[in-house]
Each structure stands twice: as C-alpha cells, then as structure tokens.
Structure 1
Amino acid sequence: MTYDRRTFIRTAALASTALLIPGCSPSLRHASGSAGDTLLDGIAGELLGEYPESATWLGLTKGERAPLNARLADRSVAGVAVRAEGAAARLAALKGALPALEGSARLDTEVAIEAHAIAVDGYAFGYGDTVNLDPYFGYRNGPYVVTQNMGAYIDVPDVMTNLHVVDNEEDRGDYVARIESFAVALEGETGRLMRDRAKGVVAPDFILKKTLAAVQASLSQDTGDMPIYRAIAGVETAPPAQAKQVAALIDQRVKPALAMQLSELRAHAAAANGHAGVWALPSGDEYYRWALWAGTTTTLSAEEIHQIGQDKLREIQARMDDVLAANGMSGGTVGARMAALARNPEQLFPNTAAGREELLTYVRGLVDDMRARMPQAFNTLVPGFLEVKRIAPEVEAGAPGGMAGPGSIDGQEPGTYFINLRDTALHPKFGLPTLSYHEAIPGHVWQGEYTFKQRLIRTLMAFNAYSEGWALYAEQLSDELGAYDDNPLGVLGYLQANAFRCCRLVVDTGMHAMRWTREEAIDWFVTNNGSSRDEVQSEIDRYCVWPGQACGYKIGEIAINRARDRAQAQLGDKYDLKAFNDAVVLGGAVPMTTLDDVIDKYIKNIR
C-alpha cells in the first residue's frame, strides 16, 4: 500500500466528486434547464462518488467507476460538510432545471428535489446523519453518530462481508484498500462524536450501554476470528500475503481506531442521561418535526400520527379478537392472548443450531411459494432473486428482527433477506410468513428490483415511507392472494404485524414529542400488542436512535391504500389490481406527496 493510495482514500470525498468520478461534468452544478437528462445522470454520478458502498451494492463498480470499489464514504466532520454543500448545490440546480422539463424527466427531477430538500434541512442541524441520498444506508436518519445499530464498526464489516466480492486480484486489492479506509472511517466518526458531545448531543445512557458493549465486543475479537479477516483469508485464490496485509491493518490501524472510538463513547456515557426522546437535544422539537417529514414524506404532525396509531390499532385488534375467538382463544386482552400464543411450544423452533436451520428452511419455502403467486398480482414481473441468511451473530443484539434489499442491477448478485436468530423465540411460526412477505416477496426485494428499470438517479433515491409502506402493503397483498387460506394462525401473525406498526406510531411520537420514558414506551407496547418484552426493548431502542423512521411503515401503507381506493372509485369496471400494482412499483420510490401524481397518470392512461 503506497502513500499515494492512502492519500487518495483519505481525501477523495473531500474533493469535488464531479472531478473524481468519470462521467460527471465539472460544470454539473451549472447545467441548464434544457439539459435535464445530463443533469440527472450527472447527479447520480456524484451520489455514487459520495456513497461508494452503494455503488458496490448495486454492481456499478465496473469500467470507469471501478475506483469506487476501493473507497468508503467519508464519515469525518469535513466529509459530512462536503456532502452538505454538494446537496445544497444540487438542490439549487434541480430547482433551476425544473421549469423547462416535462414528462419522465420532470417527475424524476421533482423526486430528486424532494430527496435533496429533506437532506439539506437535515444537514442544517449540524449533528447526526441525514437520509434519502444513500440507497444502502439512507433509510435511517439518526441524531447520533454511533449507536447499537449504526456506525462504521457495524456498517463496514457488513459491506465487506456481504457486498464486496473478491473474485479476482483487483477485487482483493480494493478489499485491502477498504480495510485501511475502515480505520479512517472510525477516526472520522470519533471526531464527530467529540464535536457532538461539545454541543450536548449525546445518546441516552441505555443506548450507550448497549453501544459500548457492542464496540468492545468488536475490539475484543481475535483478529483471525473477525469477519473482515475471514472474508479474505478464506478465499482460495487469494495470496497469503494479502490476508497477512489485512491482519496487519486490523492490528495496526483498525483496532487502535476502535479503541479511540470506545474511549470517546465512554466520555459520552459519563455525560448521558436517560431521556429517550430527541426533544432533549439542541433544537430537539424542530429536529423531530424534520425526522417525521424525512420518515413519512408527509406534513402530518406528531399529534396526528399519534392519533392515527391509536385509531388504527383499535380497528385491527377488533379483527384479531374475532380470529382469536374463532380459534378457541377467548378471554383476556388481545395482547395477553397473543403473548400466550407466542409462548406455545408448537409455535417455536428449538433455540439451537438445528432449530435455526429448520427455521431458515421453513422461510425459504414461504418465499418460493409467494414467488409463484406473483403472476396473480402483477403484469410486469421481476425475478425476485434472493438468498435467506442469518444476521451476523456479532451484531444481532442491536439489529431488527428482519431486513432485506435487492441484489445488483446487473442481476449477478442476489438480494438478501436477513433474519435475526439471536433467539428463535423472536419468531414464532405464526409470524414468519408475514415477516417473509414484508422483507422478501412481494416486499423489499421484489419492489427493489423494479427500481433497476428506472433512470439511475431514481434507483439511488431512498424514501422510507414508500419502501416500508410498500412492504406493509405487500403483507396485505399476500393475504389477498390467499397465502393464509389454510393458515388461520398466520392471519393472526399478519394482523399482529400490522398492529405492531400502529404501535410504532404511538410510541415513536410518544417518546420524541410527548416525552414518554423508555419504560413507559416498552410497557405500553407490550401491553397493547402482546409482543415479547425482549423484542419490544430492542425495537424501542431502535426508535430512540432512528426517530421518525418507524412511522413511515403505516403512514406509507395508508397512502398506498388510499390511492388504490381512489383508483377503484374512478375507474370502476376498468380497475385492475395487477395494473394498479404495476403503476406503484414501476412509478418508483416517491415521496407520499408525489404518489398521487403517479396514480393520477395511471388513471388517466386507463381512461
């Protein structure tokens, strides 16, 4: 590794990405309104330069973009400042171009404007991470740099072990470069942690307790046992010298950077309190209003969202009560009966290695069955190319129950549906169908493959309410396709999952706007939904560090169903479910405020 290469890695994101990424014009930010296509394509190139991990994920590190595969996003104070400046400049260029555009270029530009507007306002708070411009990590907005579920100590090993392919010498060389960049990323985050502590931006004490344990666990691993080492050492074609080089970088650069970050996090812990909500942060109330905009892409207030959650929960639990009674489970609250069902040994996989493999096999069967049903729901089909995997044990404690995303644009790499198996009791059998339909098909992986049919900039625009709203709508669609016809307890799993999302509206707004404590949020959730306390504690802690994100699910699903109801009412006999679903997925990820425009166009074309 030469000094020049290290210098490039350290400084690449600090320079103008328009100068660094092939295909991006240095005059991009001055593009005229008549050059809409050039402007949009150039912005896509800039975003890939800012977030090279996303380029790797999407399989876009070939040819002129190959240098991106050796880089990681700059997580330093200076790097974030450069991204903020770039977002503001692009927003101005997009707004300037819009009046002269029409057709698909106009819609694409409007979508890019909304994404950039949210990001620019987020950057203005001067702390945390913003959303929407990074398709791999951009679904989450958070005021804290490092927590139990975000930070380079989690993100980079994820990229290196799940995204970065090491098929040839160039790939392996890029891998080594990124391991060195890992240390730089940790150092950059530590600088931001120091800055934020001085501003009074410190995570709650219970979050820092988890975070310290997770970072310490990463630091304490033997180098030979670390996934980032095994990923290169286990490649038969890799020269032993490369594995030794990675080991040396881990020992000499990564672990010292982790130790430095751990020290700073301990300083945060010493200054922390137990407030769960962001209301306690500088400009906290304003920050949460922004977070709700970012998470839902609507103008709904915290009070409105809180009430929606309570109202919808009552509706769903009335249905659950009927199903429970019909299956011999009467007496007690819906939450209490669901909690009892979740403890039923017949619904649990053994909490062993064999039990985990049995669970994964069951889930793969669910995915295959639902893939076969897709011609009933769509005219335009995609492959639904995916693998089902366990979330890495070393990060399970801070991870959600499941997560997924599509594979590479070129179709060479599959999407992945990850399941948290730290305890198989997290996933009673009756709940697994709905989780699988949400994450895999027709949820995230399925919907994500449609974005590959769009202009690149649209593939890069991540809107939480659209993607999570679609995944929740996918659960409903699976029910409509008969997935639960022979599985009445699976219906309960579906309804409980939907109720779960209603509870999220209540507790997220409760903590961040109404100043509920963590314990109040946990108790309310457990009592009202019957979820296990272990599961709920992890969820509540997630909402603490990703304010507003969990509100996007139900709010997005409501918006999609409202659009469907409108299409049915206006089209009458001409309405077709498959055509409507095509319109939503082929229209691409959009803010909820733009979804109506997409459906208006669909209705007009049918008429």
Structure 2
Amino acid sequence: MLTTRRQLMLGTAGTLAAATLPRQVDAFFADGDAQADALLTRTAEAFLKLYPENATSLGIDKDARAPLKHQLTDRSPQGQGRIVAHLRQTLAELGKLDVKALSPVMRTNVEVVQASYGNGLDGFKFGYGDVAVGSWRNTPYVVAQNVGAYLDVPRMLDTDHQVKTREDAEAYLDRLESYAEQLDGETERLKVAAGKGVIAPDFLLDKNLKQIRLARSGNTAGWGLVTSLANRTAGMEGDFGNAAWMLANDKVVPALDRQIAEIERHRKRATSDAGVWKFKDGDAYYAWALRASTTTTMRPDEVHAMGLDQLRQIQAEMDTILKGLGYTQGSVGARMTALGKDPRFLFPDDDTGRAQIMKLLNDRVADIRTRMPRAFDTLVQGNVEVKRLPPEEEPGAPGAYGGAGSIDGTVPGKFWINLRTTGLHTKYSLPTLTYHESIPGHVWQGEYAFKLPLIRTLLSFNAYSEGWALYAEQLAGELGVYDEDPVGRLGYLQSIGFRACRLVVDSGLHAKRWTRRQAIDWFVETNGSPEEEVAGEVDRYCSWPGQACGYKVGHSEINRLRDRVKTALGPRYDFKAFNDAVVLGGNVPMTVLGHVVDRHIAARKA
C-alpha cells in the first residue's frame, strides 16, 4: 500500500515537469532522481520519528508507522539536540547529490528540504525558544500564551488522535503519560532560557499563567483529556477513562504544577519590553526570524517601508468605497472604526451570536466551493469543518486559523474560529476570513500538498502558506463574491490592509522598540480594526517575531509572478492554469516559486 502511494505521488509530481522536458531526457535524470528520492524518503521517515504528531495529523500512523501513534515530540533539551543532529546529517547528505543529474521537479524537492532544514539549523544556534522545522511558528519563548505542550497536546489528542481500537486507546494513554514528560522537558528549557535572559514580556506571561492555570484547574475527572478518551472507548473492554484519570492525577498535574512554578519565577523577572531587541542577540534573532518567515533577505526597515507603501495603495480603494457608502469624514481607519460599530454588521455577544457566526461561515464555505471550477483545472475535495476553538485556548489565540486534515480524508481539515467574544468579528470581515482559512485557502492548498512526495507534504514555508491564503482571499473577489456587496469588499480590503499593517507593527515592535500600547494604538487608528482583535494580534507578534510578515510578502510575490506570466505569455496566459501551477508546485520558498513559474511559462509557450 505504501509503495503504491509513493508511486502515485511521484507520478503526480513528475507531470509538473513533463511539459518542459524532452522525453529523451528522462533517462538522463533517472539515476540521479532515484538516488535523491531514496534519500528524501529516508529523510521523511526520520522526520516523522522526531515529530510523530505529524503522522497522526496526516492519518499515516498505521502499519509500519503504528509505533508513532504512541509517541510525542521530545521537547526536552536532549530532544532538541536530536533534531539538530538530524538536520546536520541530512544537509550533509543532500550536499553530496549531483544537482545537475536531477530533473527540475526533483531539484525543487531537494531545494525545499535544504531551505527548510537550513533555516531550522540557523534558528537552533540561538539556543532558546521553539524552532519551526518545516512549519511556521518560530518563537524565542519555550512556553507562552500561544506556545507550549499545555495547548498543543490536549488539542491534538482530542482532534487528531483517532480512537477506533483498543490499540488506539493504549496509544492515547502512552501519549498522555508522555505529555507529562514533555511538560517537564519544556520546564527544563525554560530554565535554560532564563539563564540567557530570554524571558517573555510580563503581559504575555500574565496571559500564559491564566491559561495554564485554567488547564490545571478543576477535577481531573472532568478534564477534556480524560473525558475525550472515556467517551470514545465506551463499550470497549477495559476502563480507559479511569486509566486516563489516574495518569492526569499522578503525572500531568504535578508536571503542570512544576511548569507553572517556573513561569511564575519568569514573571518576577519580566519587564513590559515587547520586542526581541531586548535580548543580547536580539537584532540577529529578528533578522533570522524575518528570513525564515518571509524566505527573503529583507531588512526590518525594508519590511516597515513596504507595509506603509502597500497600506496607502489599499486604503485608496477603500476610501472610494467608503465615500460611496456615505462615510466621507475622517481617515480611512476612523471611518472603518465607525463602520465596525454599525449594529447592522455586529452579532449579539452571546451564544445566539456565536450560532449566527457559525451559520455564516458554513454558508460561505458552501458557496465558494461551487466557484472553484472557475479558478482551477485540477480540483481537490476541500474536506473541511468549521469548529470553535477550545475555550481555554481562546484568550491567547488569534481570531482564526485553519489547515488540511488527513491524507485519507478520514479527518477533515479544520477552520478554527475564536469565539471568546463575538466582538472579534463583523459580518463583513468573516467572508474573507473564511476564504483565507478554508477554501481556497489553507485547507484547499493543503490538500494539493498530499499529492507530493511525503517530505514535501511535511514541510511548509510561512510566506507561501500565508501568501497563498491571502491570494485565496483575492481569488474569491475575482470570482465575484463581492460583485453586489461593497461592504464585503471593504472587509476584504481591510483584511489585506491588516496584513500590510502587520509589516509595520512587527518590525516596529522588534526593531524600532515600539511598546505594546504604541503598536495597538497605531493599528487601531490606521486600519480601523477592533481593539479587542488588535490587542491579541499584537501579543501574537510579540511571541512569534517575523511570522506575521510572511503574509503580505508572500502575497505580493505571487501577484508579481502572475504579472510576469501575463507579460511573458500575452494571449496564452490562462487564469486557471496559473493557479494550478502555483498550487501544484507545492509549498516552497519564494525563490523556488519563481523557478516553478518559469517552468509554467516555458510549458505554455511550448
């Protein structure tokens, strides 16, 4: 079964290069590609052993990989060391390949791994925080309001870990016991970070403590960690719920207490300084975080200026629409603030309002699904469900996020919505958010990655992922969703402007020494976003430096490449073919995306 799947994936990837390669060249590349493919296959399996939760989220923790279902990522200093060793060894092995003997598609596969692993290795050199190998969440803090096992593991066990057999239930218990070990591993790393002076700002630690104490509170018999397993094993032989309860009491509670005590020690030393500039090597860390998140070498000043310039362009269009709606006085931000207070666009701040939001989101998913054949020649299922974030996660979480489900489709992709207060959302802001997180955004794009070799499915780049999701918002508009809805169009433009503001605020916090209050005030006044939403966003930028910059940088690059294709192809330019090329080429650094587009141009000309 696994061999058949790999053959299918390699065949799919190979079609991307077929149009640009003469048939007789295939034999020339065969030996080199086979060598590279074998290495990348070994790399994928080694990666899964280091990050076994990935196997679960993709639904491939079965058969030969079944032991992974019993394991969690080792969050201890020793576990981090094993990750570093894997990165070094893999990069050394990839460096021995003869790239001239590789087909263009296989060369892209190799370049993707080299870029991801190289960025990760550079991040580990700082010796603190979390480094996102193949993902997007780089942070200088081991644990914060949106970082840590206390958030990640319970959500993964409840949502991704499937329990259909006794073996699945035993695996859940093994992971529950490991959860306590990972909490202690993080606590050990927190102590190392404190010794280096890397302590989160006081306002982040206050949120962190509130949330982790909430996770610790109450009778463990009622914990979601316990009831999730108890409910799913009802009728199975063996009292798995009681076993989970005992582990929660005997293992998890003491580990949470130890972590809380360490975070409280951090809190006593914390200041309100928001940016990483306060660290001894803060400038170097932020330069790396920007490079990893944008896959460019842009400097903070360039990022800052880009945000201000793009915001001016976006708000010029917003100004025209606002005037047409009768909003003529004040800045664009002030007028959007006024629009955001209009009762016509608000939800009741109660469960009735939450239900209205869920209906709106599901209706928009259903509508945009019908429009996809007009934007793509190659379609995927778009397997997605809209879910509210767990209440204990909501205080420190963004307004929403999403991603694809399992490869076999048994676990749908998720569009997680934060409903701690309905004031986070307006009726005109939610449609574009839906397109970003679900279809044709994160969930949609993620399903195309399932068609690539496994290592490509496992590795992603923030600028591509978030740039595509912004491009997905743009596609929805190009497919006519706002043709009779100027207020919805404003919601889209405000969303794009929001990402331009992020360039300014992120660089402001970490390079220009802005305070948290300064960042919030500038954001609210400039973009007209609700302060409730902005405050959480600014806190996110404080704990994930650089990440928020990937959105607009990636979006701008996709559009720049589309303009280049239009110029190069003239009448041969095809809207759907371009979209296919970008999404079928997979999640890549922006530099590699340029190569993918070059091949698309060559194929269309031929």
TM bucket normalised to smaller: over 0.9
Matches within 5 A, 1:164-563: 164-235=161-232, 236-239=234-237, 241-563=239-561
Amino acid at match of 1:168: T
User: Are the structure 2 counterparts of residues 98 and 180 from structure 1 closer, same or farther at C-alpha, using a change threshold of 3 Å?
Assistant: farther
The equivalent of 1:569 in structure 2 is 567
Contact residue 213 and residue 260 of structure 2 kept, 8 A: yes
Amino acid at match of 2:314: I
1:345 Cα deviation from its structure 2 partner? 1.5
Q: Deviations over 1:71-113 (max 9, x none)?
A: 0000001100110111111111112225342332211001110
Amino acid at match of 1:375: P
Amino acid at match of 1:105: M
1:33 Cα deviation from its structure 2 partner? 8.7
- Which SS does the other structure have where 1:371 is aligned? helix
Contact residue 347 and residue 426 of structure 2 kept, 8 A: yes
Amino acid at match of 2:85: E
The equivalent of 2:596 in structure 1 is 598
The equivalent of 2:19 in structure 1 is none
User: Are the structure 2 counterparts of residues 98 and 163 from structure 1 closer, same or farther at C-alpha, using a change threshold of 3 Å?
Assistant: farther
Which sits farther off after the overlay, 541-550 or 88-97?
A: 88-97
- Which SS does the other structure have where 2:273 is aligned? coil
Task: Say whether residues 1:106 and 2:107 are aligned partners.
Answer: yes
- Which SS does the other structure have where 1:263 is aligned? helix
Task: Say whether residues 1:85 and 2:85 are aligned partners.
Answer: yes
Task: Say whether residues 1:50 and 2:50 are aligned partners.
Answer: yes
The equivalent of 2:126 in structure 1 is 125
Contact residue 321 and residue 334 of structure 1 kept, 8 A: yes
The equivalent of 1:148 in structure 2 is 145
User: Are the structure 2 counterparts of residues 182 and 98 from structure 1 closer, same or farther at C-alpha, using a change threshold of 3 Å?
Assistant: farther
In 1, Cα distance between equivalents of 2:90 and 2:536? 37
Q: Compute the TM-score of the two structures, normalised by the length of structure 2.
A: 0.93
In 2, Cα distance between equivalents of 1:424 and 1:341? 16
Q: Deviations over 1:387-424 (max 9, x none)?
A: 00101111100011111001111122110101000111
In 2, Cα distance between equivalents of 1:98 and 1:405? 35
- Which SS does the other structure have where 2:97 is aligned? helix
User: Are the structure 2 counterparts of residues 173 and 604 from structure 1 closer, same or farther at C-alpha, using a change threshold of 3 Å?
Assistant: same
Q: Deviations over 1:3-39 (max 9, x none)?
A: xxxxxxxxxxxxxxxxxxxxxxxxxxxx999611100
Contact residue 33 and residue 106 of structure 2 kept, 8 A: no
1:59 Cα deviation from its structure 2 partner? 0.6
The equivalent of 2:70 in structure 1 is 70
In 1, Cα distance between equivalents of 2:32 and 2:553? 36
- Which SS does the other structure have where 1:400 is aligned? coil
Amino acid at match of 2:103: E
Q: Deviations over 1:147-177 (max 9, x none)?
A: 0011000000110111011111111111111
In 2, Cα distance between equivalents of 1:421 and 1:559? 32
Which sits farther off after the overlay, 96-105 or 160-169?
A: 96-105
1:221 Cα deviation from its structure 2 partner? 2.7
Which sits farther off after the overlay, 462-471 or 215-224?
A: 215-224
Amino acid at match of 2:67: P
1:240 Cα deviation from its structure 2 partner? 5.7
In 2, Cα distance between equivalents of 1:351 and 1:454? 43
In 2, Cα distance between equivalents of 1:434 and 1:422? 20
Amino acid at match of 2:390: A
Q: Compute the TM-score of the two structures, normalised by the length of structure 1.
A: 0.93
Contact residue 378 and residue 578 of structure 1 kept, 8 A: yes
Contact residue 136 and residue 461 of structure 2 kept, 8 A: yes
In 2, Cα distance between equivalents of 1:302 and 1:504? 12
The equivalent of 1:41 in structure 2 is 41
Which sits farther off after the overlay, 188-197 or 91-100?
A: 91-100
In 1, Cα distance between equivalents of 2:236 and 2:195? 45
Contact residue 463 and residue 553 of structure 2 kept, 8 A: yes
State, as a whole percentage, how many aligned pairs show the same letter: 51
- Which SS does the other structure have where 1:430 is aligned? coil
Amino acid at match of 1:182: Y
Q: Deviations over 1:189-240 (max 9, x none)?
A: 0000011111111111111111111111111132122111111111223446
Q: Deviations over 1:553-594 (max 9, x none)?
A: 000000000000000000000000100000000000000111
Q: Deviations over 1:20-65 (max 9, x none)?
A: xxxxxxxxxxx99961110001100011111111110001111000
Contact residue 98 and residue 109 of structure 1 kept, 8 A: no
In 2, Cα distance between equivalents of 1:173 and 1:151? 24
In 1, Cα distance between equivalents of 2:236 and 2:421? 35
In 2, Cα distance between equivalents of 1:357 and 1:255? 34
Amino acid at match of 2:199: V
Q: Unaligned stretches of 5+ in structure 1? A: 1-30
In 2, Cα distance between equivalents of 1:222 and 1:466? 43
Contact residue 276 and residue 512 of structure 1 kept, 8 A: yes
In 2, Cα distance between equivalents of 1:237 and 1:589? 43
Which sits farther off after the overlay, 322-331 or 569-578?
A: 322-331
1:328 Cα deviation from its structure 2 partner? 1.4
In 1, Cα distance between equivalents of 2:457 and 2:501? 30
1:350 Cα deviation from its structure 2 partner? 1.5
In 2, Cα distance between equivalents of 1:237 and 1:599? 54
In 2, Cα distance between equivalents of 1:89 and 1:123? 15
- Which SS does the other structure have where 2:414 is aligned? strand
- Which SS does the other structure have where 2:420 is aligned? coil
Amino acid at match of 1:494: Y
Aligned residue pairs: how many?
573
Contact residue 279 and residue 513 of structure 1 kept, 8 A: yes
- Which SS does the other structure have where 1:408 is aligned? coil
- Which SS does the other structure have where 2:468 is aligned? helix
1:132 Cα deviation from its structure 2 partner? 3.4
- Which SS does the other structure have where 1:394 is aligned? coil
In 1, Cα distance between equivalents of 2:273 and 2:431? 36
CA RMSD of aligned residues (A): 1.2
In 1, Cα distance between equivalents of 2:94 and 2:536? 40
Contact residue 33 and residue 103 of structure 2 kept, 8 A: no
- Which SS does the other structure have where 1:403 is aligned? strand
In 2, Cα distance between equivalents of 1:101 and 1:201? 43
Q: Deviations over 1:284-336 (max 9, x none)?
A: 10000000011100111111010000000011111111101111111111111
1:247 Cα deviation from its structure 2 partner? 0.3
User: Are the structure 2 counterparts of residues 33 and 601 from structure 1 closer, same or farther at C-alpha, using a change threshold of 3 Å?
Assistant: closer
User: Are the structure 2 counterparts of residues 98 and 554 from structure 1 closer, same or farther at C-alpha, using a change threshold of 3 Å?
Assistant: farther
Contact residue 98 and residue 106 of structure 1 kept, 8 A: no
